[in-house]
Amino acid sequence: MRKKTKLVSMVLVTIMFMGLISACSFTKDEESQSLPEASTSTNTPASSQDDITKDPFEIAIAMPIFGPVPEDIQLVQDEISKITKQKINATVKLLPISIGAYVQQMNLMNSSGEKLDMYIALGPAYNMDVASGKYIELDGLLEKYGQDLKSQFDPAYLTSARINEKLYGVPALKDYTTGVPGVAMRKDLVEKYKIDLASIQSLDDLDQVFKTIKDNEPNITPLGIGLSGPMYQYVWYDKLGDSFGVLPNYDNGLKVENLYESQEYTDTLNTLHRWFKAGYINKDAATNMNNPGDMIKANKTFAFFMGNKPDALEGNIRSIGKDLVFAPVKQGDYSTTSDILFAMWGISANSANPERTMMFMNLLYSDPTIANLMLYGVEGKHYVKVSSTSIDYPSGINAATVGYTNYFWVVGNPFITFTFEGQPVDHWVQIKQTNTDAIKSKALGFSFNSDPVKTEITALNNVLTQFAKILESGTVAPADKIEEFNTKLKAAGIEKVIAEKQKQLDEWAASDKSLECVIELVVKPLVGPIITL
C-alpha cells in the first residue's frame, strides 16, 4: 500500500507539473510564439569511428593573423599532424589569412567551393555565415565525436551559440566580457612627462595627455588608430550581435535602439574629430589596416584604445615588446552574448569530411599538446619550460624574433595551455573567475537570428563600410556626414532589422520568464511534497 501511495503521489505531481507549465505559457493565442523544434542534426553519421578514419584525410583550417605569416607555421603544422595522424588518421593544413582580408577571403573560399574544412568566424560574421549556409549544423557530430570538447564547457556558453536551437559553431574558451574601456599608453613616456593616470576618468581627460605628447614628441602620434578603432573598444551598450540595434547600458528595459542615432554616439564622434584636427590621431586613420599595437612597436604612436581584461595589458606588452600602462575611461566589465560569440570555430559547408573535422576540433579543445602547439609553437624552438606549467622564450629570442606566435582566442581552449613567464600561475583560473564576476547584460544568452533580414544586413554592412571608418577615426566632422549616414542606414533597412531584433528579444525574454514561472510555481512548491514522498 505504501508503494502504491508513492506511485499515485508521483503521478499527481507529474500532472501538476505539466499543468503549471501550461499555466506559465503566454495567455494570448495571438501573441504566443511556438519555440523552434528541437534540433535534429542531419550530420549524425551511422558508421563506426574505425570506418570513418580508415582512409587518410587532410583538414584545411583557416585562421586570421595580425602580421606577416609566421615563418615557422609549416613546422607547427607538421608537429600537429604527427599527433592527428596517429589519433584520427588525418593531417592538418593551416591557412593563415591577414585579418584585414579575412572576412572577404572566407566569403570567397566558401562561395567558390575551395577546399576548406574548418575556420573561425569573428563577431557578427558567425550569424551571417550561418544565415548564408556557410556553416553546417554540429549537434549530431558533437554528440558522436565531440564529447571531450563538450566536457570543457559550461552548457550555457554553448546554448548562447545556438541559432534556432541549433548549434553551428563552438566558442573559443576565453574571457567572455567586454573588458573595461580605456587607453594603453607607453610607460616610459607616461613617466617622462609625469602623466597622472588617476586624473583620467573620461574621454575628455585625454585631451591634455595627448597635447603633452604632441608638443614634446613631434615624431610620435598621440593616439594610434588602425584596424580596430576606438569605437570597437569604447562601448556602453550590448551590441546584440551586429550593432544594428543595440541595448544601451546593457539593460534599457530590453528596448532595442539605433546606436547611430544616439546622442552619445555623436558626442563620441565629435571628440574623435577634435583630436584628429589637433593632430592627436594619425592622418591615415581612415585607411590604416595595421594593428595599433604594432604602431607602438614601430615607435609611431603613444597610445591605443583597448578593453582591459585579465592579461590583456600583459599580453600586449609581450607582443609589442614595450612596457605599457592602462587608464580606464569608463567603468564596468560586462558579459554579453557578443563576447561569447567573438570567435567561433565551425565546420565549412565545403568540407568533404565533417566527421574527421569534428574529431580534430574535439582534439583542439581537449588535447593540451595540440593546444600548446597552436598557441605557442614547438617546444625548444619557440618556447622553453621554466616550470611544469609555465614557459618563456628561448635564450636570444623575444616577441619580435620568435618564428611562431598566435592569439590565445584563436586557439579553441587556451585554458589547457601553459602560462607565460610573468603571468600569474593561476592565470586561466582568473579568466574563468572574470566570467563569473562580470556584470551580466540583461540580454545575456540572447542570440539574434539574422536570417529573416539577411538582405538588409548585407546592405547595412555596405553602408557601414562607406561611413563608419571615416567617422569613427575622427577624419571627418560628424556634422557633415552623420545625417547622410543615418539616412542611408534607414534606406538599407535598419528599422526593419531593429524591429526584427526587438521581436526576437521579446520572445526570448518571454520564454525566459516562463522558465522562472515554472521554478516559482512548480519546483519550489513541489520540493517539500517530493521530499516527503
Position 429: which residue type? V
Q: What is the mean pLDDT of residues 452-462?
A: 94
User: How far is it, in rounded angstroms, from Cα 320 to Cα 295?
Assistant: 9
pLDDT higher than threshold 90 for residue 530:
no
DSSP state for residue 27 in the 8-state scheme: S
pLDDT band at 431 (very low <50, low <70, confident <90, very high): confident
pLDDT higher than threshold 90 for residue 311:
no
Its sign, for the CA torsion 344, 345, 350, 355, is negative
Its sign, for the CA torsion 360, 43, 48, 56, is negative
Is residue 495 within a helix (H) or strand (E), and if so which, with residue range? helix 494-518
- Residue 438 gets the label, from left (phi > 0), alpha (psi -120 to 50) or beta, of beta
pLDDT tens per residue across span 462-485: 999 999 999 999 999 999 999 999
pLDDT tens per residue across span 445-455: 888 888 899 99
Cβ(172)–Cβ(409) under 8 Å? yes
Look at residue 302 and give its three-state secondary structure. Answer: strand
C-beta neighbour count of 322 within 10 angstroms? 16
Dihedral of CA atoms 103, 105, 107, 111 in degrees, nearest 10, equals -170
Q: Where are the beta strands (DSSP E) in 28-102?
A: 57-65, 90-98
pLDDT tens per residue across span 12-62: 333 333 333 333 433 333 333 332 232 333 444 445 566 789 999 999 999
Its sign, for the CA torsion 138, 141, 144, 145, is negative
Question: Which pLDDT value is given to residue 339?
Answer: 86
User: How far is it, in rounded angstroms, from Cα 393 to Cα 395?
Assistant: 6
pTM: 0.71
pLDDT, averaged across the chain: 85
- Percent of the chain at pLDDT > 70 equals 86
Look at residue 185 and give its three-state secondary structure. Answer: strand
Largest CA distance in the chain: 93
Position 238: which residue type? D
Q: Which residues contact 217 (CB under 8 A, 6 or more apart)?
A: 189, 302
